[in-house]
C-alpha cells in the first residue's frame, strides 16, 4: 500500500529538489494537501512563472525580467568598472555590502575540471568582448576564495591581460571584527602575506 498516485507523484517530484529527501518531501506534500487552495495555486503558478518570465540580461548575464537589466541601464553606477561574480546570488551579496556601486558580469559558474566545467562553459568570452566594446577601465574579480574561485580569477586575469584594462581582485583576510585566535591558519597566512602599509 502507498499514498494515492497523485500524492506519490508530488512526493517524487519534491524529492528531486536539492536537500529535500523522501521524508521531507512527504511532509511537504501532506502539508500542501491540507493547505488552502489559493496558496497552492499561487505556488504552482509562481513556479511556472519563474521559468517563463526570467531570462538572462544580454549584457551582464544576470537574471532579469527586462533586457537589458535595470543594473545595466542604471546611470548612477560607476562607469568603466565591471565587477565579475560567479552567480546571481553573488550579485546580491555584493549589493548588500556596496549598494548601487558596480555594474556586474555573471559568469554562471567557476572553472571546475572535476565536474567538467571549463572556461568555454562560462561567460568569459562575453566578458572579454564587453571589456573591449565598452572600453572598460577596471575589472574587479569577486570570486570566492576557494580552489575553483582562484583558478577562475587567474584564468580571467590571463585572458584580459592583452587588453588595456586594470584587473583587481577583492581582498582575502581576517573577517572584520574577527579575533586572530579564531582565524584558520590558511586565512591568517594569506592575511600576513597580503599585508599592506597604513
Give residues in contact with its own copies (CB under 8 A): 1-7, 9-10, 13-14, 16-20, 24, 26-33, 37, 39-54, 63-65, 71, 87-89, 91-92, 95, 99-100
Beta bridge partners of 130: none
Largest CA-CA distance found in the chain, in angstroms, rounded: 72
The CB-of-21 to its own copies minimum distance in angstroms stands at: 12
CB nearer to its own copies: pick between 14 and 167: 14
CB atoms within 10 A of CB 69: 22
Rank residues 92 and 186 by Cβ distance to its own copies and give the closer one. Answer: 92
As given in the structure block, the three cell numbers for residue 42 are: 499561487
Cβ closest to its own copies, residue 62 vs residue 165:
62
Shortest separation between residue 109's beta carbon and its own copies, angstroms: 10
φ and ψ of 57, to 5 deg: -60, 135
Q: Please say which residue, 24 or 150, places its beta carbon nearer to its own copies.
A: 24
> What SS3 state is found at 82?
strand
Regarding beta strands 103-106 and 166-169, do their DSSP bridges make them parallel or antiparallel, or are they unpaired?
Answer: unpaired
Amino acid at each position: 500500500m502507498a499514498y494515492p498516485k497523485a500524492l506519490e507523484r508530488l512526493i517524487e517530484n519534491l524529492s528531486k529538489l536539492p536537500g529535500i529527501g523522501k521524508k521531507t518531501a512527504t511532509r511537504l506534500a501532506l502539508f500542501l494537501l491540507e493547505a488552502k487552495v489559493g496558496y497552492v495555486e499561487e505556488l504552482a503558478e509562481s513556479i511556472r512563472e519563474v521559468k517563463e518570465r526570467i531570462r538572462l540580461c544580454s549584457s551582464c548575464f544576470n537574471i532579469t525580467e527586462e533586457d537589458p537589466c535595470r543594473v545595466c541601464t542604471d546611470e548612477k553606477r560607476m562607469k568603466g568598472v565591471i565587477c565579475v561574480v560567479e552567480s546571481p546570488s553573488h550579485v546580491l551579496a555584493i549589493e548588500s555590502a556596496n549598494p548601487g556601486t558596480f555594474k556586474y558580469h555573471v559568469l554562471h559558474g567557476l572553472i571546475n575540471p572535476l565536474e567538467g566545467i571549463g572556461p568555454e562553459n562560462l561567460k568569459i568570452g562575453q566578458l572579454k568582448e564587453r571589456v573591449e566594446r565598452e572600453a572598460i577601465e577596471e575589472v574587479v574579480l569577486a570570486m570566492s576564495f576557494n580552489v575553483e574561485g582562484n583558478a577562475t580569477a587567474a584564468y580571467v586575469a590571463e585572458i584580459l591581460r592583452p587588453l588595456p584594462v586594470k584587473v583587481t581582485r577583492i581582498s582575502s583576510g581576517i573577517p572584520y571584527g574577527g579575533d586572530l585566535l579564531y582565524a584558520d591558519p590558511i586565512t591568517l597566512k594569506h592575511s600576513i602575506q597580503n599585508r599592506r602599509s597604513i
